[in-house]
């Protein structure tokens, strides 16, 4: 493996129209943070770059829906998400944003550079234009009837009912969501990046030279390239974004996919005046951390942009993850099916590392994976508390009890002692290998094996028993346990930074470099440690049940919202309507129809007569409670026999979403037989 002089780590810029959830953390930010912390501990020259992606149509749509400006939308989520990252110890060197001035300058310059080198293809196409609002319409601003399923509210890019991808001109009866008017087709000029021109180069660069990329990433790239690449527009008719910096391009901005990855470059510029050595020196290893929805942008489109520009380096690896599901269902912002970071911290204060640990243990590295609250609880209770916490606590408590907190000198070590100590360096090596290959689950599993090793050593050696007969031997046991504990603060630091900071405090140990891991003299005899607290605490069943109940409530609310309203029926004339004799009436008697569950036999005073009506409401009304009620009936419905009883007319009912029937009654007293019209 090539040795690089420095590292440039980028993490996908979160889109600033919603808060961050556990899926983002598991897929992108926890792995990128582990990798960055590891490199920093190796004293590598490394910078970690991220920021908010603040342009594009969904942000303008959200602003319009809420009656605020796009800037207000992005300010809200930039602030919220920046804080969430800080709270979870995601240690970017900079968290910038694409609405910054430096980004506008950098993105414009990048575009101009390609423009001047004739890298773009100019093309005029017909696009929908809203004459009332005076603007071109992005696909999402056009709705109409889906040609596939007849959904009347399909968007210009997709029908959300049947899931079909659409283009705006496929919509039947399109209209603008801005003014409601029917849009017209108008010619507009745009610039295209000719990806097809780079197909041969991409084939060699990815398919031949980067066979080591993760299987899911390599496979997706191959399938894109095999399908054949098309020129892709880099500009849009929109008023929110980086203006296209050429004459005649008024009202056009850079397409968000073109502008966003340049955000990595502008954020680096903002961070350091020496930004060019990170972006232009082939001795820099650039790694993009992203989710699978971003593979095409970071493996194909952005590299083509960089290649076309000519002075930039390309990513060495793009370790994209698959998606994390939540309790067997796809995480969804619009359905509120998510665990939001800011809410997690309110409900589990101080437990950032527990979530980091669970998300890394269960990361969707090679396939989609599932987060469940039961698994979260089990990982905390059975691994963090029972193994890591237990070992650390016993070691520190015994050292305080036996030696008043002073590290004892190790006497003669036996064969097993030496084997255990040798294991530390071996574990470190394994963790390194896994981290360097972006296998974070495996790395964490191996790192926690060090705590397992310590736990087993202590349980086998039983110093609490040996102390009675052989206190000299206990000094050695405790010295070795303390060295393992000190090594944990190094090897687990990238994964559990909050807990390891605590542990260093109790050990009275300053931060060590990664290369010190494996040493067996990190704590010298006589060094004083402090009194520990619990590193992790058990998570009880009721805390987990609360979370599960919360999700179940969300599911119910979603189902209710999705329940369908019966579509409007065909029109009837007034004459037709007048034929139906709807009148008020009063219930005189009510009884269940024997051997049925749903039917009530009612005796009704209709003003015209007293008659019998059979009605299917027994599930909703007790007979004795409805006597005397005034109701509405269809009095001239042809009589029919139900269970042998002649029913003359029908009682009017409203049927709720869940099928429940409710009687329709006048809100004030009227005479029986009053016409309802
Ligand atoms: Zn459809």
Instruction: Decide the pairing of beta strands 284-289 and 6-11.
Output: parallel
Q: Is the dihedral of CA 278, 280, 286, 290 positive or negative?
A: positive
Task: Output the CA 148–ligand 1 centroid distance in Å.
Answer: 5
Q: Which of 123-127, 296-300, 423-427, 523-527 is the least confident region?
A: 123-127
Distance CA(586)–CA(570), nearest Å, equals 32
DSSP annotation of 367: S
pLDDT of residue 478: 98
Task: Output the CA 153–ligand 1 centroid distance in Å.
Answer: 9
Task: Output the CA 564–ligand 1 centroid distance in Å.
Answer: 16
Task: Output the CA 603–ligand 1 centroid distance in Å.
Answer: 49
Average pLDDT, the chain: 93
State the average pLDDT over residues 178-196. 93
**What does the pLDDT look like over 95-148, one tens digit per residue?**
999 999 999 999 999 999 999 999 999 999 899 999 988 888 888 889 999 999
Task: Output the CA 21–ligand 1 centroid distance in Å.
Answer: 29
Buried b (16+ CB within 10 A) or exposed e, 329-348: eebeeeeebbbbbeebbeeb
What confidence category does residue 567 fall into, taking pLDDT thresholds of 50, 70 and 90? low
Task: Output the CA 128–ligand 1 centroid distance in Å.
Answer: 20
CB within 8 Å of 393: residues ≥ 6 apart: 532, 534, 535
Residue 332 has pLDDT above 60, yes or no: yes
**What does the pLDDT look like over 587-614, one tens digit per residue?**
999 999 988 888 999 999 998 899 999 9
Task: Output the CA 164–ligand 1 centroid distance in Å.
Answer: 6
Task: Output the CA 188–ligand 1 centroid distance in Å.
Answer: 28
CA-to-CA separations, 260 to 16, 98, 107, 164, in angstroms, rounded: 12, 7, 9, 26
Per residue, what are the HEC states of 609-642? CEEEEEECCCCCCCHHHCCCCEEEEECCCCCEEE
């Amino acid at each position: 493996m090539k040795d690089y002089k420095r590292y440039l780590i980028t993490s996908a810029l979160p889109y600033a129209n919603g808060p961050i959830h556990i899926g983002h953390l598991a897929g992108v930010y926890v792995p990128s943070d582990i990798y960055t912390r590891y490199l920093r501990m190796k004293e590598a020259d490394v910078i970690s770059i991220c920021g908010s992606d603040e342009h594009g149509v969904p942000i303008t749509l959200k602003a319009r829906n809420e009656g605020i400006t796009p800037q207000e939308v992005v300010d809200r989520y930039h602030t919220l998400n920046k804080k969430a990252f800080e709270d979870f110890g995601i240690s970017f060197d900079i968290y910038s944003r694409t609405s910054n001035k430096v980004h506008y300058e950098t993105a414009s310059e990048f575009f101009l550079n390609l423009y001047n080198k004739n890298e773009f293809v100019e093309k005029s196409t017909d696009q929908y234009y809203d004459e009332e609002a005076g603007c071109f319409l992005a696909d999402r601003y056009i709705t109409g009837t889906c040609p596939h399923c007849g959904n009347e509210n399909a968007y210009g890019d997709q029908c959300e009912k049947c899931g079909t991808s659409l283009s705006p001109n496929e919509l039947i009866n399109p209209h603008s969501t801005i003014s409601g008017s029917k849009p017209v087709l108008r010619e507009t000029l745009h610039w295209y990046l000719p990806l097809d021109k780079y197909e041969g180069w991409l084939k060699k660069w990815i398919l031949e030279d980067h066979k080591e990329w993760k299987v899911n990433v390599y496979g997706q790239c191959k399938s894109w390239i095999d399908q054949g690449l098309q020129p892709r527009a880099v500009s849009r008719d929109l008023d929110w974004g980086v203006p296209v910096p050429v004459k005649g391009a008024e009202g056009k901005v850079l397409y968000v996919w073109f502008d966003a990855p340049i955000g990595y470059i502008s954020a680096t510029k903002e961070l350091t005046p020496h930004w060019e050595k990170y972006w232009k020196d082939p001795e820099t290893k650039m790694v993009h951390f992203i989710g699978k929805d971003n593979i095409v942008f970071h493996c194909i489109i952005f590299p083509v942009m960089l290649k076309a520009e000519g002075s930039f380096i390309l990513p060495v690896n793009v370790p994209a993850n698959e998606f994390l599901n939540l309790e067997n269902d796809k995480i969804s912002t619009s359905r509120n099916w998510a665990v939001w970071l800011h809410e997690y911290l309110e409900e589990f204060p101080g437990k950032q590392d527990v979530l980091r640990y669970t998300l890394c243990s269960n990361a969707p590295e090679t396939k989609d994976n599932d987060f469940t609250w039961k698994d979260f609880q089990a990982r905390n209770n059975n691994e963090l508390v029972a193994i890591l916490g237990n070992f650390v606590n016993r070691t520190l408590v015994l050292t305080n009890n036996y030696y008043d907190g002073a590290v004892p000198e190790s006497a003669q070590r036996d064969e097993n002692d030496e084997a255990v100590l040798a294991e530390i360096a071996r574990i470190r090596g394994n963790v390194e290998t896994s981290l360097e290959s972006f296998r974070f689950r495996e790395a964490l599993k191996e790192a926690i094996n060090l705590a397992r090793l310590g736990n087993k050593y202590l349980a086998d050696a039983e110093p609490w028993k040996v102390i009675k007969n052989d206190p000299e031997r206990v000094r050695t046991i405790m010295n070795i346990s303390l060295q393992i504990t000190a090594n944990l603060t190094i090897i687990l630091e990238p994964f559990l930074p909050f807990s390891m900071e605590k542990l260093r405090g109790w050990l009275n140990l300053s931060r060590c470099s990664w290369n010190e891991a494996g040493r067996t003299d990190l704590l010298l005899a006589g060094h004083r440690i402090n009194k520990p607290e619990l590193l992790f605490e058990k998570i009880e069943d009721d805390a987990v049940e609360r979370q599960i109940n919360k999700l179940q409530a969300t599911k119910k609310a979603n189902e209710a919202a999705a329940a369908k309203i019966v579509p409007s029926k065909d029109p009837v004339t007034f004459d037709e309507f007048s034929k139906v004799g709807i009148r008020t009436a009063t219930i005189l008697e009510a009884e269940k129809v024997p051997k049925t569950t749903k039917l009530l036999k009612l005796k009704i005073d209709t003003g015209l007569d007293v008659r019998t009506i059979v009605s299917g409401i027994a599930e909703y009304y007790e007979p004795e409670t409805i006597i005397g009620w005034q109701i509405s009936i269809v009095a001239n419905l042809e009589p029919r026999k139900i269970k042998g009883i002649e029913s003359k007319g029908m009682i009017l009912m409203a049927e709720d979403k869940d099928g429940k029937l409710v009687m329709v009654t006048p809100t004030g007293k009227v005479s029986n037989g009053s016409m309802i019209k």
